[in-house]
Amino acid sequence: MEEFYLNLTSLGWNETYQEQAAPYYKDGLIPARVASEQKQLYRVLTEQGELHAEITGKMRFQADGRNDYPAVGDWVMISPRIDEGKAIIHTILPRKTKFSRKIAGQLVDEQIVAANIDTVFIVNALNNDFNIGRIERYLILTWESGANPVILLSKADLCTDIEHKIAQIENIAIGVPILVISSLQNEGLDQLQPFLEEGHTSALLGSSGVGKSSIVNRLIGETVMEVRAAREGDDRGRHTTTHRELIALKQGGLIIDTPGMRELGLWDSEAGIQTAFDDVEEFTKQCRFDDCTHKNEPGCAVKAAIHSGELDARRYDSYVKLQRELKYILRKENHHARIAEKKKSKKVTKSVREKYTIE
């Protein structure tokens, strides 16, 4: 990939970060942006170039969970060793936005997919893997993140009913931009340019095989990301991107490529659900009883809207399912938090005992 000069502004630095960083300058620390992370080893971008970094022992000790570690897109304060190409990360500056999900599997913990993003490109392929329910989930987590969603419908060259699919999405994503592209034919990518201005950070999110890496290659103008064809039969993708990576573009913007996510668990998503399902929420407010369960009560506006066709039954079922999932995660999270607090207390007690034993 062709190298070019980076400055803090092109990396997304602004006055807010400058104010937050001010107390650390006196200690000789400088700002850097996290470009990638693998097993708590980080690659960061600075005005002096790219450095490989680790966190301090103090940060590691004080971390209660994954969200206390740097994530791709984070602004961090580092002590650089430019000649060695290395650095030590001392702190994470407050995050402007963060796209989080529940980590895959049975454990209940937050995984920050990307931080300090302005736009989330929700990428869904126009083939057999097209999935309205999945788009709804991405919209929930995007609204919760604080970033703005844009829906990218990729692989337009494989679809013969594009208008029908757009109409389906418009029913669940009112006011959200919907862009149709084909990386193979290099069509529609110019529509992304307003979201790729200097200092603007966008993230490509979607399941495997939707064409995220192909989009990155087109935007960069050369092949820097491996791509693979989707499986025959079901158009499911194969993982090509193995880790999240922030890439600085020559036109001034930044793009974060992410691995495909088969499992997209909700995390702290109550406000996101309310925004993504505001149409359903409006009907629930019109019910005769405040505690209406929308099952057998008289004067239920939700049941009436489904019967009249104003509200799609599939969409309401999706809303109920997601609300149930969120409540389950919150119960598990509260239990997990209590256990974590006990462990932290034991760790502090042990540290104090060791200190006085040594003295």
Residue type, 198: E
Q: Are strands 41-46 and 49-55 parallel, antiparallel or unpaired?
A: antiparallel
State the DSSP code for 68: G
| Residue ranges at the known binding site for GTP | 154-157, 206-214
Identify the burial level of 90 via C-beta atoms within 10 angstroms of its C-beta, where 0-12 means exposed, 13-18 middle and 19 or more buried: middle
- Torsional sign, CA 296, 302, 306, 309: positive
Q: CA angle 305-306-307, nearest 5°?
A: 90
Give the three-class secondary structure for 237.
coil
| Residue ranges at the known binding site for Zn(2+) | 287, 292, 294, 300
- Torsional sign, CA 162, 163, 168, 169: positive
What is the phi/psi pair of residue 26, to 5°?
A: -65, -20
State the DSSP code for 156: G
Q: CA angle 95-242-127, nearest 5°?
A: 100
| Residue ranges at the known binding site | 154-157, 206-214, 287, 292, 294, 300
Contact 191, 164 (CB under 8 A): no
Return d(Cα 224, Cα 206) in angstroms, integer. 19
Residue of 190, 185, 188 whose CA lies nearest to 153: 188
Return d(Cα 274, Cα 266) in angstroms, integer. 13
> Position of tokens 């389906």?
168
Cα–Cα distance list, 28 to 16, 48, 77, 80, 89 (Å): 19, 15, 10, 9, 12
Burial 161-189 (b: 16+ CB within 10 A, else e): eeeebeeebeebbeebeebbbbbeeeebb
